[in-house]
Structure 1
Amino acid sequence: MEKSVAEHYGAQFFKEQSGGSFESASVIVPLVLRLFKVNSVVDVGCGVGAWLHEFATNGVSDYLGIDGDYVPRDQLRIPSERFRSMDLRSITDIGRKFDLACSLEVAEHLPESSANEFVSALVAAAPIVLFSAAVKGQGGRNHLNEQWPSYWAERFSGHGYSAFDCVRPQIYDDSRIRPWYRQNLLVFCRGDRCPEGYSSLTSPFDLDRVLPDYFEYKLQEVTEGKSAAIAARHLLGNLGVLARAARRRSGL
């Protein structure tokens, strides 16, 4: 039987997720604020509000977090009145404009049929979008639509938004930041809000490249997984030997 959305994203999920988000946000948010003039922020798929908490700490007082009704309110790190419950699978009009929209490691949790509508909602909300979504093979809880960044860049381009790699070069080897942010984080901008001194990315070669730290992180994950599987096979084999010896001793 298929799990409900609430079962996938319960209190334990957000408890596990928030620690890495807080530490990553503490480094990335000040960089974003140095690149762009931001007085208002909406975080679509905000979880318990780790990123918005960091924007508020850095002086942004106008902000809103949007996520599903399954987010545990007692874990929110933003005032409850700054949180709005919406179904991210069919989000349309957020209701107002912001200087910056964030969506960080969220889009992969939505079905592919929601991808175009989700991007449309983000660009309708702000001229600048800080965006990160799981690449193919990244893995994670209930990942339904892992895609390379060029997939998302094509959808933003349809709205006249260009991709800029203005954050990753500053964080790619910073171990305080979770590997998936260092690998996936891009900024999509409307033409009049592009970051000074940066050229837009258009080719899959530039958009989809894999950073060394992320590659090593996934390689270690695979290696550890294989080691665990080998250990399990040895354990099962040893249990089989013990069971056969016990049968022999009992005369069975």
Structure 2
Amino acid sequence: MGIPHISSRWYDAWYFRHSCGKPYERNEEWLRFFRAIADRIVAEIRPRTVLDVGCAMGFLVEALRDRGVEAFGIDISEFAIRQARDDIKAYVYVASVLDPLPSALPSRYDLVVCIEVLEHLPSNRVDEAIKRLCQLSDDILFSSTPDDYREITHLNVQPPEYWAERFALHGFFRDVDFDASFITPWAARWRRSSDPFHRVVRNYERKFWRLWRENVELRTKLLEMRDELARLEAIKDVSRHGENQYIRSCSLMTGMNKIKNFIKHCLTRLGWIP
């Protein structure tokens, strides 16, 4: 069986109702999500022009325009584009990242946003799509699920290092000091770099070292807390046979609960529990 061809008919009303985790429609939850993204983009990147590739119903485009940014969007779904807010319809177009932009759109942008889009492309079209993104801007906010294989239109689900390699082929590297997790936990900001290779490696190593040390320190603290929890439980067992059992148990339970809460906090920081 060959690689499926991309079809805009996949992205109809049924798709947006059933294939986005929750119904993708104009409601306060989705609007609040994209408003929050727009707020962070405006505050931390400050672009004058933005292209949202795979804009769906244009929620991010409208949020950015409401904040004074000259934003545009493209999406292959005719259904989604028809759902855009009336005053936004002039700025969103039925188009694919694989094709030349509509003539009415600018050819370059301060920022390109591409959220959960490229996993919908077959693997043999990904490099072409990334090349187009990199031609449109020197600054790209990008997110693509690393593990959602259940959605039937996800033709090329890949881990973060796959996308890092693809962008690096075009001279784009992760901005290791920018936290894009306000979009998704795996989102990243890719920027064109003219730095020599040794400087790029230095930046990556700086970030890796800090995260590795944090991981080791948290793991060490967790093991210490585990030992303390075991000690307190042993004391609790002994106290059952002595006087003032209730008072001692309450005190020990308070200490144990504090430790359990700290362990949960550490595991969350490490990403081991949601």
Q: Does 1:55 align with 2:67?
A: no
| 2:179 aligned partner, one-letter code | V
Larger Rg: 2
For residues 164 and 117 of structure 2, the distance between their equivalents in structure 1, rounded to whole angstroms, comes to 15
Q: Tell me the CA shift for residue 191 of structure 1.
A: 2.7
**Gaps in structure 2 of 5+ consecutive residues:** 18-22, 196-201, 212-266
The one-letter amino acid paired with 1:35 is E
CA RMSD of aligned residues (A): 3.3
**Corresponding residue of 1:65:** 73
> 4+ runs of 1 displaced by more than 4 Å?
18-21, 92-95, 199-203, 211-217
In the alignment, what sits opposite 2:189? 187
Determine what percentage of the aligned residue pairs are the same residue: 24
Contact 1:21/1:51 (8 A) holds in 2: no
**2:24 aligned partner:** 17
Superposed CA deviations along residues 39-62 of structure 1, whole A, max 9, x for unmatched, are 0010111101111111112210x2
User: Following TM superposition, by how much is the alpha carbon of 1:153 offset from its aligned partner in structure 2, in angstroms?
Assistant: 1.1
Question: CA deviation digits over 1:75-112, x for unaligned, max 9?
Answer: 11362221222234x33567610100010000111111
Task: Note the alpha carbon deviations across 1:166-210, whole angstroms, 9 max, x for none.
Answer: 2346x4xxxxxxxxx4222110012379xxxxx95479x77xxxx
Is the CA contact (8 Å cut-off) linking 2:47 and 2:110 kept in structure 1? yes
TM-score, normalised on structure 2? 0.61
1:75-90 aligned within 5 A: 75-77=83-85, 79-88=88-97, 90=98
Higher relative contact order (CA 8 A, sep 6+): 1
TM-score (norm 1): 0.65
Aligned partner of 2:229 in structure 1 is none
Contact 1:132/1:185 (8 A) holds in 2: yes
Code of the residue aligned with 2:115 in structure 1: it is: L
Residue number in structure 1 paired with 2:119? 108
- Separation in structure 1 between the aligned mates of residue 193 and residue 107 of structure 2, nearest angstrom: 20
Shift in alpha-carbon separation, 1:163–1:5, aligned structure 2, 3 A? same
3-state SS of the aligned residue for 1:79? helix
SS state of the match for residue 113, structure 2? strand
Residue 156 of structure 1 and its aligned partner are, at CA, apart by 1.0
